[in-house]
Amino acid sequence: MMKRSFMQEKVCHLMAGFFCLLSLNGRPWLNAKVAEVSRLCAKPWIRLLLRRDASATLFPALALSLLTISFITGCKQGSKSTPPAPLAEVQISEGFLKVERLIPHDKTSYTQGLELFNGVLIESTGQYGQSSIRKIDPATGKVLSSVNLEDRFFGEGCTVFNDTIYQLTWKEQTCLTWAADDLTPGKTFTYTGEGWGLTHTDTALIRSDGTATITWHDPRDFSVIKTVPVTYNGNPQAYLNELEWVDGKIYANVYQTDKVVRIRPSDGQIDQLIDCSKLLAHAQQQSPQAEVLNGLAYVQEKNRWFIGGKNWPTLYYGELIEK
């Protein structure tokens, strides 16, 4: 587990304080973002910003960049700032998972993608040298079969389309494919940008890449069909990670948070927030290695969900309840 140095700790708290001061600049449209960043910067999980590169030099550079941007923004007192024009107002509902069953899960599995197919959970795991594609018994959590990826690949989201597993990789801009029945490797595709989450409709694959844009791909050649910007209350919502397509809408967990959001694909607006904070807290009580929320699998016949996370010792099964 990576620990912050004394200097990194000071920079982190300086960032939090600086953003708090910025919130006093009289620009109401910034207040929500400022409050969010201030809250997050003060929490220990800021170290996870380094989880992909694990480079100790990245943190100071990131902190310096954010401080510079904040200073420039805060100093423009004489200029007129106009908030982004919001789209049509959306009524945002809230929900939570009513847990009905706990399923054991391999806590060494850095879960990146999860999907139920023909009664079996398909899981994609990450980390260089540890990534895999595997099939899991949803009743017991037992790994039924698994294939390791080449060390040069960092596994990301996965989905099953027409009996083929599509598995993204993070920086390698490569989509791997596997036969869903026996995990025989198939053809590969390339794409632009990073690979984060993946799901599908009846005709297309849908990919997130860490930005506030989701991309539709043709499953035959992975060519781009269209892109849709995602917004929350009129503001871009980035860090969309694991995806799941359910009843014509996209569910996505937001990386580094304990929230799942529901997205309208027609205009990209978020219309529901699902609180998974209790699941995260329970997983971390069970294992100190448990990291962030990641892993959504919908059970259509029963209208139930499996929800998991990176290195979680448990998968949570239950019903999504709207408050």
Distant-in-sequence, close-in-space partners of 196: CB < 8 Å, separation ≥ 6: 156, 157, 168, 170, 207, 208, 209, 210, 240, 241, 242, 255
Task: Tell me the average confidence (pLDDT) per consecutive run of 10 residues in the chain, 323 residues long.
Answer: 42 43 38 42 40 41 41 35 38 84 94 95 96 96 96 96 97 97 96 96 97 96 97 94 96 93 95 91 91 93 94 94 82
Which CATH number belongs to the domain containing residue 142 in this structure?
2.120.10.30
Listing DSSP states for 241-262 in one string gives EEEEEETTEEEEEETTSSEEEE
Buried b (16+ CB within 10 A) or exposed e, 229-255: ebbbeeeebeebbbbbbeeeebbbbbb
Whether 288 is in a domain gets the answer yes
Per the document, the length of the chain is 323
Question: How many domains are there within the chain?
Answer: 2
146 and 211 housed in the same domain: yes
A 10 A CB-CB count for 63 gives 21
Identify whether the C-beta of residue 201 lies closer than 8 Å to the C-beta of residue 245. yes
Residue type, 94: E
pTM beyond 0.95? no
125 and 227 housed in the same domain: yes
- Cα 217 from chain centroid? 19
59 and 108 housed in the same domain: no
DSSP 8-state code for residue 310: B
Identify whether the C-beta of residue 171 lies closer than 8 Å to the C-beta of residue 210. no
160 and 285 housed in the same domain: yes
Whether 15 is in a domain gets the answer yes
Instruction: Show the domain range for 116.
Output: 93-322
Identify whether the C-beta of residue 296 lies closer than 8 Å to the C-beta of residue 306. yes
d(CA 52, CA 287): 21
Residue of 223, 261, 227, 224 whose CA lies nearest to 241 = 261
Give residue 319's pLDDT: 93
154 and 238 housed in the same domain: yes
118 and 174 housed in the same domain: yes
- Please say which residue of 43, 75, 107 terminates a domain: 75
Q: pLDDT digits over 199-236, tens only?
A: 999 999 999 999 999 999 999 999 999 999 999 999 99
30 and 137 housed in the same domain: no
